[in-house]
Amino acid sequence: MSGYLSGLIGILGINIIFAYSIYVTAATGQLNLGGAGFQAIGAYSCAVLSEMFGLSIPFLLLLSTIIGATVGFLVAFPILRTRGVYMVLATFAFAEIVAGVILNSDSLGGPTGLVLSDYIETDVIIWSTIGVVVFCFYLMSTRIGLAMRAVHDDEAVADLLGVNRRAVQVGAFAIGGALAGLSGGLYALYFGFVEAQYFNAFLSIFVLLYVLIGGTQTAWGALIGASFFTLVPELLRMGDDWRFFIFGVIIVVMMIWRPEGMVTRQAIDRITLKLFPVVRRHG
């Protein structure tokens, strides 16, 4: 594998895992515009643990996942007091505070960032990505996934029908935090360097856009959205500025034509029906 290709696959895998972390909360109807904050927590805990204790790589990734999950779980309680636009703002504020704390603490390197001595090869990212994608597809096919869909479609009705709404929402934040932590850990180990400026508001905006443009109805959305917006700019191979200009145009056009995202449940039903005319899916 050439260096360029493996680098592309590495960043693609990290983006897909990161997109799934936002997808899990979006699938329960909570918009998280603070993804960069959660990823920064994973990346920095990985970097600090690696330097202080010299843990092995599987341990580092496991710990950044667990730390991410814990933060997601704890943050869920105050954040779930807000809803709609307020929740978008609250999660955004959370990410800004995380970046502010990192910039202000000298033990985390402040604005200069941290260098890691450990590193991973691309295949670790490939296997983690496959694992996360399979996990998310499985999750959405279980009863929990059904409960998440119910909460997404109508909170009050889901509550009335006996879905433990609060548990589903808090759980989604915890899983989202875990996946963001994992993607942060992979980022730190793959690039060997973390700095607070990378985890900025635009990163949070982009990852939320991957998910919403991909579609929140099915688990395909995050995969397709993240892959599309990581690979298409590479294929277009233009100057950096104009690629984001085109990205903006695509977003505006998509919201006019397909406001529910690229992949919808209907679209998947239509495709399966065409491929396997006998099999009928319900949903």
Partner 1 sequence: MVFTQQLVNGLMLGSIYISVAVAFTLTIGILNFLNFTIPALYMLAGMVGWSVSYYGLPFGLSEPLGWAPSLLVGITCSVLASLLVERFTYRYFKIKHGDSTEHAIPLVSSLGFLLIFEYAILGAHGSETRGFHTPFTDLNWRFADLVISIPQVTSLILSLCIVVGLSFMLKKTRIGRALRATAESPDTATLMGVEVRKIVPIVFVLTGLLCGLAGSIFAVNYSEVSPYMGDHVGTKAIAAMVIGGLGSVWGAIAGGLIVGISETFSIHFFGASSAQITVWGLLLVLLIFRPNGLFGHNAIGKGKF
Q: What are phi and psi of 278, to 5 degrees?
A: -85, -40
Stretch that binds partner 1, among 50-58, 88-96, 119-127, 159-167 (CB under 8 A): 88-96
Residue 110: both structure tokens together: 């402040």
Reduce the secondary structure of 180-226 to three states and give it as a string: HHHHHHHHHHHHCEECHHHCCHHHHHHHHHHHHHHCCCCCHHHHHHH
Closer by beta carbon to partner 1, 239 or else 277: 239
* 267 binding partner 1? (CB under 8 A): no
Regarding 252 and contact with partner 1 (CB under 8 A), the answer is yes
Task: Tell me the per-residue interface mask from 115 to 134 with partner 1, x by CB under 8 A, - otherwise.
Answer: --------------------
Q: How many residues bind partner 1 (CB under 8 A)?
A: 50
- Is residue 179 involved in binding partner 1 (CB under 8 A)? no
How far apart are the C-alpha atoms of 149 and 158, rounded to whole Å? 9
Q: Is 114 helix (H, G, I), strand (E, B) or coil?
A: strand
Binding residue (CB under 8 A) for partner 1 from 126, 139, 247, 269? 247
Residue ranges of the alpha helices (H) in 82-200?
85-104, 122-141, 143-153, 155-160, 165-191
Degrees to nearest 5, angle at CA 117 with 104 and 44: 30
Site for partner 1, rule CB under 8 A: 26, 29, 31, 78-79, 81-82, 84-86, 88-90, 92-94, 96-97, 99-101, 103-104, 111, 152-155, 201, 205, 208-209, 212-213, 216, 239, 241-242, 244-245, 247-252, 255-256, 259-260
